Amino acid sequence: MTTKTKQRTRVPVRTLPSHIPAVPPLDGEENINAAKEAASFLNIFSSAIHEGDWDAFGNLFAEKCFWRDHLTLTFDKRTIHTRDDVVAAWKTLSKTRRPLAFSSDKDKDMDMDAVWARLGPVFATLDVPFSFRTEAPASKCIGLAKLIPGPDNKGWQICVLTTAVVELDEKPFSTLPRTSPSLIEPSQRGNPHAQGLPRLDGNAVLDAVVVGGSCTGIANAIQLDAAGANVAVFDAEPQAGGNWSTKRYENVTLHHPAFMIQLPRFPVPEWYPKYLKGTDLTRYFSSAVEELGLPFFGGVAVTKNTWSEEEKVWTVEVRDVKTGEEMTLKAKNLLLANGFLVGNDNPRVPKLKGSELFTGPVQHTSEYRNPADYKGKRVLIVGVGNSAHDVAGNLASDPDVKSVTILQRSPTVLLDFATVAPILMTRYQGDIPVDTADFLQESLPVGMMRDMARGAIGMAIAGAEDRSLALEGLGYAVERDTCLMTKVFEERGSSFYVDQPGTFDLVFGGRIQIARGDAVGFVEEGVVVRDRETGNERVVEADGVVLATGYEVVDLPARWKRSGFVDEETAGKLVNVSAFGVDEEGEVPGLTTFSGHSNLYFAGMAISQCRTSSRYTTVQVLADIIGQFPERYNRSYLNNNFPSPCDWFKRVNLSPHYTLVLGLGLQAYTPETSRKMTAKSPPKVERTTIAGSIEIPRILNGLWQLAGGHDQDINVAAAADAMKPLYDMHPQIQLYGSLLTSFGRIQAGLDGFDMADHYGPAELVIGHHNHNDNYTLPPITAFTKWCPAETGDKSFKTAEAAVDLALTRMGQKQIALMQYHIWDYTDDTYLYNLSHLRTLQQRGKIAHMGLTNVDAAHLELLLHSGHEIATNQVSCSVIDRRLTRGRMAGVCERHGVGVLTYGTLLGGFLSEKWVGKPEPKDDGQGMNWSLRKYLRFIHAAGGWNAFQRALGAVADIAKKHGVSVAAVAVRWVLDIPVVKAVIIGGRLTSESGKYAEANLAAFGFSLDEEDRRKIEAAQEGLEDIPGDCGDEYRRPPFLTASGDLSHHHLPRKNELDEVEKAIARGKRVEFRSGGKWEPVAGYSRAVRFGSVLRVSGTTANPPPELQPGLAAVVGGVSARAQAVAALDIIEGSLKRLGGSMADVVRTRVMLRREEDVLEVSEAHGWAFKCHGIRPANTTITAGLIGDEVLVEIEVEAEVGSGKSVLVIGEDRRAL
């Protein structure tokens, strides 16, 4: 869903900055007195801060240094890079947070010694630990400065500074069980099992409610309770940590040692095993609740949370799961620890064809408990990660399970635990306090950790080459070149398995077999597997299947909005933490600190990080309680990770005295030029996510104008080259005013592109850029479309060739969003092609599927058929309101489909240029394809005068806000709740930068109620554009530049000529559609004799080649969608015999269920409204053949009867 909070951009881990300075061995380094050097440096450091000598302070930092802060001065989780930015941050923040009392004295919170640490032959640091304090709020903090020798080995400079909050002075952490007063009475504390609802005074307001009573939830409860906050923690499970016993497979075992996963202030007892199983974890978490006296309420579900901005409190509704009793309580803060990243309600379950043919058990690992259902069976496990191996080991250890096979899809990092444990768990051996280990574990920037871990893991893999060869000999595909940080943040740990339980022993012993390939379907004998190299399919015989296929990225804000878990306003603000990933600083957006809502926290997500995440969320809650929540440090995009203008020109061999203007001209660069250019920065771009995982700007660059007809000849190399320099200035481009070309707009945050297979060289331009990228550039997101003419080719080969061509042209391994266009709903080619694209999506060539110009009825049809549709691209503007005035917006809202809109500026008509101007001629001078197209839209919406009234209202509002007409037009569409993004054409001309600046203004203002009323008043003079979204491509009035587009449909002229000749000779013509029952029962789909045309009872059965498909029938369990599918088949049958829907004189509709009458009637009514008639109709309920069939329709037609219709009488009422 679209968020109202300005979102932090997620970036690939590979793009994060890193600097590991070269520090070769120093003369006499073994004699360095670390404590003395550290004390001297800390004194200089603290003195510079105390005296406000920021030049001296800056001299203490290396140029490419990092500062990683955990809620000290920034009161956020930040990683700031380069000396200038670090100094600027400390200078700014010291005014309000006043850091002081720097000390190297050790205590319970700062238990580190200064040390000279050589980490490699050419890298070493002097580590200087310290404690310090801040004010407003008064806090205790700790820090670590990693020093390297200064220039010419004189003095020391900081290469990495790490700081972290410990506690607030006013609310320090105390021992538990607490003795201070609490709103939760003593009798309701320390109960790890269900005890009913809390007994609270009606006026009580808790400081915090924690949702989730497992690891992270209990950790937050401990910290909050220890600091004296009034807190209650709720979990639908009846026992604390019960999910580990009831929601996971029985043998689940943590791969981290007990010391590493312990709760804050409650170490794992020594008598527990080193590696805890699920039942151990439940027992451990329950013991914590009991022994620490925590306010835990098991068996209580939190069902709804509503924020009051006026009262600054949450209204939290809870329900006793067992009794159904409900209550409402109030809280100042809401902490979510409810499995928002990986949860049993979002397993990734591949939809494999033929599932009804396979009779054995099929479970996702989220459902699997033990081998009971698989005894005596051959079991195939689809997947090769931790869960796959754990379940395989569990099954293989049961002698009653006949055989176990792991199906591996792609190469995987495979390591023995002993090989990698020293790398992953070196700090957690119990030799230093766990809180110190946590601080050190998170002390380095992610970019540096990426590079250091890559080297360490690479050495471990190389050292285990014999083991890798042995594993390959057993059938595994072993990945040897990997990035651990990428696996963690972008792939959620997939394709990386460390064998702590010893499952490899069962593989080497032959108890577990390894197979390779993609699971694509079921047959009675097992699973159909496709070889990824050859494409050949084979059957892996199996009697049972376990899907170890991970968990989906979901759009949490949209899900919670639909379910009511949070109110709509809150949902519109939240960061979608399910997308995970990192921002430009290497921090996870939305996690632990600002979630998009000031009083809601995503309170942690990893069991080994529960201590730090709970400390940080607690400190923020406490600051809110005492009324001293400091302003977080602004996330500026002035980040010296990227070159200054002069540095950039040196890199591209240009004089620093010149700069690009509008991407083409050169102009002298002077201080005056700089002042002019920096006077006004474009607004920050609003961002959103589609499919819960792809982050995009809410204005996309549309490249349809490269298709031709826009007075342009595009040189691919020149267009691609033009984008490079301005890419490299990211993100300082925001400073340079008109320094924006079409592709340069990316640097203002507009990094999304939309194109199609028929947009001329658009895909090639992106591909040229991707292939010839000689710079470290920010990534772009490119969507494309496949819009095949319906010529009768329904083959997988053709679909795969189209996708492969797009990948080749774009220079990518995967298409982020493939959008499909349907020309003719009555031609089932689209069902075949979407099925083929889904297969290619399963193979990894496509990330997500979208549609373009599909109406609400057929969008709904595809969704109910089982297709996962992320977006639908449709026309929408202040003139074209079909999105909101028809069913489209409601369908998209219900199903979580994002809308990408185009035509928002009517091809340029919505601009100052046309205010008060006379209507142009269709073929007049300057009328390009877009203008001709949208002039037809204007005619359909009531004509030029009605358009001028609407344009005038928009122009008045633009003048009021000091922005362009285009900005107002874009803002109006962006404010439609289901709209994810607006697509605006980019022509790649010297003028496009000017247009970009005007468009970006849409992010810098808001429409008020007066503005909206003015637009609505002007729109009253408009007429509704006929039909639904996309109808302009399929039926009159054709509103495209070239008019009638029927040439894209399957040509059947010769066949129709034969039909008419036969009718003229008095022959009867029968149309046979290939349905499986037609030859069995001896009937035709349709029969015509003379002008009379009858169509048999028709249901929504898919084409035989697609059975079994996503659903048993097209439209799935929706009667409305089945009716749409049946009517499409009927219309196609009429067309084959020379008729049309306009010729229908009678319909008979048979329904299985009476409750479907309204929806089916609406579908029936819409279908015939599109053809301007109302036939006679009978609708009855009947016992239809096949439980899955909900609707059957038959029709009678008189060919030619729809050409002239007289209507008498009137409609009495409308539903």
Q: 1048: pLDDT confidence band, cut at 50, 70 and 90?
A: low
Q: Is the pLDDT of residue 996 over 70?
A: no
More confident of the two residues 691 and 1091: 1091
Q: Is the pLDDT of residue 817 over 80?
A: yes
Angstrom distances, CA of residue 200 to CA of 322, 327, 865 = 20, 10, 48
CB-CB contact of 314 with 306 (8 Å): yes
* pLDDT at position 377: 97
In this structure, what is the dihedral angle of CA atoms 724, 728, 733, 739, given to the nearest 10 degrees? Answer: -30
CB-CB contact of 1108 with 353 (8 Å): yes
* pLDDT at position 43: 97
Task: Give me the sign of the Cα torsion angle 122, 123, 124, 125.
Answer: positive
* pLDDT at position 121: 80
More confident of the two residues 700 and 346: 700
Q: Find, among 496, 467, 493, the residue nearest to 479 by Cα.
A: 496
Sheet bearing 1176-1181, strands edge to edge = 1068-1071, 1086-1089, 1092-1098, 1191-1198, 1144-1151, 1176-1181
Q: Is the pLDDT of residue 1198 over 90?
A: yes
Q: Is the pLDDT of residue 651 over 60?
A: no
* pLDDT at position 84: 95
Across residues 808-816, what is the average pLDDT? 88
- Convert the pLDDT of each residue in 1056-1073 to its tens digit: 899 999 999 999 999 998
* pLDDT at position 933: 87
* pLDDT at position 741: 32
Highest mean pLDDT among 303-307, 478-482, 735-739, 769-773: 303-307
* pLDDT at position 60: 98
- Convert the pLDDT of each residue in 858-914 to its tens digit: 999 999 998 989 999 999 999 999 999 999 999 999 888 999 999 999 988 999 999
What letter represents residue 319's amino acid? R
- Convert the pLDDT of each residue in 324-360 to its tens digit: 999 999 999 999 998 776 666 778 888 899 999 999 9
* pLDDT at position 551: 84
Q: Find, among 89, 52, 263, the residue nearest to 163 by Cα.
A: 89
Please tell us whether the domain made up of 192-343+553-625 is placed in CATH 3.90.550.10.
no
Please tell us whether the domain made up of 1052-1198 is placed in CATH 3.30.1330.40.
yes
- Convert the pLDDT of each residue in 224-250 to its tens digit: 999 999 999 999 999 999 999 888 888
Domain boundaries, the chain: 13-168, 192-343+553-625, 363-547, 645-668+694-1033, 1052-1198
Q: Is the pLDDT of residue 744 over 50?
A: no
Q: 638: pLDDT confidence band, cut at 50, 70 and 90?
A: very low
* pLDDT at position 348: 87
H helix intervals, 926-1065: 929-940, 944-961, 965-974, 992-1000, 1009-1019, 1053-1064
Report how far residue 622's alpha carbon sits from residue 207's, in angstroms, rounded to the nearest whole number. 8
Highest mean pLDDT among 523-537, 713-727, 1047-1061: 523-537
CB-CB contact of 847 with 725 (8 Å): no
Q: 286: pLDDT confidence band, cut at 50, 70 and 90?
A: very high
Q: Is the pLDDT of residue 653 over 70?
A: no
More confident of the two residues 649 and 919: 919
Q: Is the pLDDT of residue 114 over 60?
A: yes
What letter represents residue 685's amino acid? V
* pLDDT at position 675: 37
* pLDDT at position 709: 41
Whole-number percent of the chain with pLDDT over 90: 63
* pLDDT at position 631: 93
Q: Identify the weakest region by mean pLDDT among 390-399, 672-681, 844-853.
A: 672-681
Q: Is the pLDDT of residue 265 over 60?
A: yes
Q: Identify the weakest region by mean pLDDT among 798-807, 921-930, 1027-1036.
A: 921-930
Residue that has been written with the tokens 């047959």 in this structure: 523
Across residues 1175-1204, what is the average pLDDT? 92
Q: Is the pLDDT of residue 695 over 60?
A: yes
CB-CB contact of 912 with 964 (8 Å): yes
Report how far residue 760's alpha carbon sits from residue 743's, in angstroms, rounded to the nearest whole number. 17
Whole-number percent of the chain with pLDDT over 70: 87
* pLDDT at position 88: 95
Q: 374: pLDDT confidence band, cut at 50, 70 and 90?
A: very high
Q: 490: pLDDT confidence band, cut at 50, 70 and 90?
A: confident
Please tell us whether the domain made up of 645-668+694-1033 is placed in CATH 3.30.530.20.
no
- Summary mean pLDDT of the chain: 86
- Convert the pLDDT of each residue in 1179-1188 to its tens digit: 999 988 888 8
Across residues 845-852, what is the average pLDDT? 93
Cβ count near 270 (within 10 Å)? 6
Q: 1049: pLDDT confidence band, cut at 50, 70 and 90?
A: low
CB-CB contact of 43 with 731 (8 Å): no
Across residues 282-300, what is the average pLDDT? 97
- Convert the pLDDT of each residue in 775-797 to its tens digit: 445 567 889 999 988 778 899 99
Q: 677: pLDDT confidence band, cut at 50, 70 and 90?
A: very low
Angstrom distances, CA of residue 336 to CA of 70, 304, 567, 619 = 20, 13, 15, 15
- Write phi, then psi, for 342 (nearest 5 degrees): -130, 110
Q: Is the pLDDT of residue 722 over 70?
A: no
Q: Identify the weakest region by mean pLDDT among 308-317, 553-562, 673-682.
A: 673-682
Reduced to 3 states, what is the DSSP secondary structure of residue 661?
Answer: strand
- Rounded to the nearest angstrom, the gap between the alpha carbon of residue 545 and the centroid of all alpha carbons in its chain is 29
* pLDDT at position 644: 34
Report how far residue 1113's alpha carbon sits from residue 1121's, in angstroms, rounded to the nearest whole number. 10
* pLDDT at position 740: 31
* pLDDT at position 802: 93
Report how far residue 78's alpha carbon sits from residue 445's, in angstroms, rounded to the nearest whole number. 9
Across residues 1011-1023, what is the average pLDDT? 94
Q: Is the pLDDT of residue 1168 over 70?
A: yes
> Domain 13-168 adopts which CATH fold?
Nuclear Transport Factor 2; Chain: A, (3.10.450)
Across residues 6-11, what is the average pLDDT? 71
Across residues 589-602, what is the average pLDDT? 94
Beta strands in 1040-1108 (DSSP E): 1068-1071, 1086-1089, 1092-1098
